[in-house]
Amino acid sequence: MATSTSSSIHQPYKPYRHLKTLTGHQRAVSCVKFSNDGSLLTSASLDKTLIVWSSSTLSLVHRLIGHSDSVSDLAWSSDFHYICSASDDRTL
């Protein structure tokens, strides 16, 4: 029979705290993902763009454009050198 320690039962709840609101998209954000090493963060939006952010400074690094419709999802390559985006324009 598995039992838990009393320390795991009584851990106090530590809520996330708001540090900064990243503003850069003109419409709703549909997806946000960190690169595998955690150094970058990318957001995809209904405004047809992706924005790559520095996760340490929370500053805009690159704005990626090219889709003709909303960007609904994204994925980082395992070496974090590439981003694949999926759009409602039915392209990757």
**pLDDT attached to residue 47:** 97
Number of domains present in the structure of the chain? 1
Q: Is residue 17 part of a domain?
A: no
Task: Give me the tens of pLDDT residue by residue for the chain, a chain 92 residues long.
Answer: 555 555 557 788 888 888 888 999 999 999 999 999 999 999 999 999 999 999 999 999 999 999 999 999 999 999 989 999 999 999 99
Q: CA of 83: how far to CAs of 12, 34, 35, 44, 62, in Å?
A: 38, 11, 9, 11, 12
Domain range for 71 is 26-87
**pLDDT attached to residue 68:** 98
62-89 burial, b at 16+ Cβ within 10 Å, e below that, comes to eebeebeebbbebebeeeeeebebbbee
DSSP labels, 10-52? SPPP------------SS-EEEEEE-TTSSEEEEEETTSEEEE
User: What's this model's pTM, rounded to 2 decimal places?
Assistant: 0.80
